[in-house]
Amino acid sequence: MSKDTFNTVAIGRREVLKSVGFGALALAGTSLGSSNAQATPEEATKYLSEMTGGAAAKEGKVTVKLPEIAENGSTVPITISIDSPMTDSDYVKSVHVVAEGNPNPEVVSFNLSPAMGKAEVSTRMRLGKTQNVRAVAIMSDGSVYSGLKQVKVTIGGCGG
């Protein structure tokens, strides 16, 4: 055993704050490499325009659900739902998800079909920092819709 002497002296709030401040329990962020340049909104837009073939996206129909504040950037649940009847004549063909502040903007692309019956997909993503996540849906008639959500990523504290 180490020197396990009793110490039940209560620590004051100020002392905790002081030690935390000085200690700077900062962690190195997430598992995403810190040496990489960050993607920019422009890069994300460029990538999306490649995916959509340059078609202009209208805001709407696409809902991106993410936590307001993610507890940890390494595993953030995301659900994308698109307002579509998902019939043979009117359905969502694909959805592309981009993160504007990650090392690379692309996250995941889904190819959907009328056999799904409902245009909603969920996964879990990595976020290097607080940023916007955008999803762009390409409909069966060629129209393109876009949705955006900002998510705050907390770094630091007692990561352990």
Binding site for other proteins (CB under 8 A): 1-8, 10-11, 13, 16, 19-20, 23, 25-26, 31-33, 35-36, 67, 69-72, 74-77, 86, 99, 102-104, 106-118, 120-127, 154-160
**Residue 124: its H or E element:** strand 120-125
* CB neighbourhood size of 37 (10 A): 8
Phi and psi, residue 128, nearest 5°:
-75, -25
Smallest separation, CB 125 to other proteins (Å): 6
Smallest separation, CB 118 to other proteins (Å): 4
For other proteins, the closer of residues 110 and 145 by Cβ is: 110
Smallest separation, CB 27 to other proteins (Å): 9
Which region holds residue 61: left if phi is over 0, alpha if psi is between -120 and 50, else beta? left
